[in-house]
Chain A
């Protein structure tokens, strides 16, 4: 029983991090209709920014996260304004190809700049944990989980209540009407992509505190984010959280009861099922 609860807790904590990774992808997808295949590479860059702030400038990893977010926001904003905006009217396949290209470029630049060495963000308290009734809750993962939930809630409130947030939603729902009301799509799109990248940056910093970093971690993270965005649907950031938790728990239970090799079978099997049964997402509105 304790084992089951422990695995469940681990799954939930993992799911929080998954959700944060997927949040930026879902936002960009929902508003710009771009499936950003470079999302994982942005997570990887966020991890490196955090890593260098921690090892080079002796930042606390969590204090470094806002800086990682700001740096990635700038990178995201520039990518959208400088590259993606040029093809935003083109077919979806073109944007897919371009983001794939960006991923490859970022990956190889990262190896060139940072080498292929494996790195970890390893503060003194990295291994600390709480023991509650025989269950171990890793401190860093708990904080990462809290940040993921907090950021998602903040994102939700921002989209719902702020003027810019309403502009983003308006652009997603009806671009013509939004323009009539004075929304500048160029600005809104760049802002949205920047926000997506900033979220990836924070996710990367947190990922580095629980896992190892190298220039090639991005691909798998993009795939995972994609699955979560599909499960949660693109309407509401809160559903992305649920999607992340759902995936984290399913993966952990699969590993426990069926075997660790079947984790990805479970997560991508769910993806296929959902695409067949509920294409707008397990939790999203049906069209």
Chain B
């Protein structure tokens, strides 16, 4: 009853009745070549802050603190993003740091957090390199890059006919090199034979040579670790060169709406992975559940959220939880509280290992008839995988 009265009283209070605020700062790619993914983080931070503020903000002791955001545009330039994180701390006096998108950015930017002892929670970098430096103030909500293909390779060993030869292609950036390193190990353990293991340059636009090698090498399964532009070019050129292995899987792009839009029917059959699907089973204190979150996001921003969006929201929620349990905005106390957070969110269960990284299983997914279909989540097949893939003109 009191809770109800409190709620009524609260909802009639004018909004700017905040005693104090906690400012979270981030430098995100809003323009430049990776703006397309950078926007997920800006939108996620803003959406989360708004929801949490609407529900009363952060409770520190008996006072309510509003979440304020300071988001800068790093123009997809790593050097600029480092300078902006310095600016956020020295000039804008933000309390804590949220992350940018992409491992190579996080690698550089997290050093600012570590050096100044201000905790950063980031949902944009998965590379194992981020967590292998002994940093104590960097926490991540994306699971380890080295295991991105884990569920896929597990599923491959259960397929009939079993793929025998694998091509592993990866871009030469921090994230994809980590993916390749882990995948190589996983493939060896699964007893699959890697016949092509090749690195290509980031933003490569021509894949005809690699595709020709895949075709002439009679490769059964192709695993590509690359960014979305590369994956789009790869798929289009695979079609025009008639390269159709039994299975094709990509680290990035498959769960994203604009990937499917750009490729149309050619996206069908592509498989990939995601740590998050908008399931009603994922309950959240502020958003209700993940399905509801996805619906509201779509209505608000005009595009569908993917795991980048959910990981961004989880980063904000991790701060709220940590600050509340620390009962303070002292950076060291919040850092120690972050190391111990453990809560359920629309993204999944959030807690960090000793290195500061979350541990979540990757769900293997495949695009079937223009929709993302979950295929395999580590134990059993959730849906039937289209396998071996039909020739391009029948997809």
Contacts and interface: CB of A to CB of B under 8 A. Distances in A.
Same complex origin of A and B: yes
Contacts of B199: 259-261
B213 A14 contact: no
Contacts of A7: 208-209, 212
Contact of A261 (B32, B201, B266, B392): B201
Interface string A143-183: 00000000000000000000000000000000000000000
A122 B393 contact: no
Contacts of B236: 120, 122, 126-127, 210-212
Contact of B266 (A122, A139, A259): A122
A131 B240 CA distance: 11
Given A220-B203, A259-B198, A214 B36 contact: yes
A105 interface: no
B266 A116 contact: no
A107 B227 CA distance: 21
A10 B213 CA distance: 12
Contacts of B261: 117
A120 B240 CA distance: 14
Contact of A111 (B35, B212, B215): B35
B229 interface: yes
Interface stretch (A31-39, A69-77, A248-256): A248-256
B167 to A, nearest CB: 12
A10 B266 CA distance: 21
A116 B35 contact: yes
Interface string A211-242: 11010100010000000000000000000000
A118 B229 contact: yes
A9 to B, nearest CB: 9
Contacts of A141: 240
Contacts of B208: 7, 10-11, 14, 252
A222 to B, nearest CB: 14
Nearest to B199: A261
A184 interface: no
A136 B199 CA distance: 24
Interface string B97-120: 000000000000000000000000
Interface in B1-40: 31-33, 35-36, 39
Interface in B139-195: 172
Nearest to A248: B206
Given A7-B212, A140-B240, A263 B35 contact: no
A125 B198 CA distance: 30
Contacts of B263: 120, 122
A121 B212 CA distance: 23
A212 B232 contact: yes
A48 to B, nearest CB: 14
A146 to B, nearest CB: 16
A119 B228 CA distance: 11
A132 interface: no
Contacts of A277: none
B163 to A, nearest CB: 21
Contacts of A122: 236, 262-264, 266
Interface in B207-229: 208-210, 212-213, 215-216, 228-229
Contacts of B210: 255, 260
Contact of B212 (A6, A119, A139, A212): A6
Interface string A27-55: 00000000000000000000000000000
Which of A108, A115, A128, A260 has its CB near the most chain B CB atoms (within 10 A)?
Answer: A260
B288 interface: no
A111 B172 CA distance: 26
Contact of A214 (B200, B204, B229): B229
B241 interface: yes
Given A118-B36, A260-B210, A111 B31 contact: yes
A216 B263 CA distance: 19
A57 interface: no
Contact of B240 (A119, A138, A214): A138
Contacts of A260: 198-201, 204, 209-210
Given A2-B216, A118-B262, A140-B240, A263 B33 contact: no
Given A108-B31, A122-B236, A256-B213, 5 more contacts: A111-B31, A214-B33, A259-B198, A263-B204, A263-B206
Interface pairs A-B: 3 shortest CB-CB: A127-B239, A138-B240, A10-B208
20 contacts: A3-B212, A6-B215, A7-B208, A7-B209, A10-B241, A11-B208, A116-B39, A119-B262, A122-B263, A126-B236, A126-B239, A127-B236, A127-B239, A127-B240, A127-B242, A127-B393, A128-B240, A129-B240, A251-B206, A260-B209
Interface of B: 31-33, 35-36, 39, 76, 172, 198-201, 203-206, 208-210, 212-213, 215-216, 228-229, 232-233, 236-237, 239-242, 258-259, 261-264, 266, 392-393
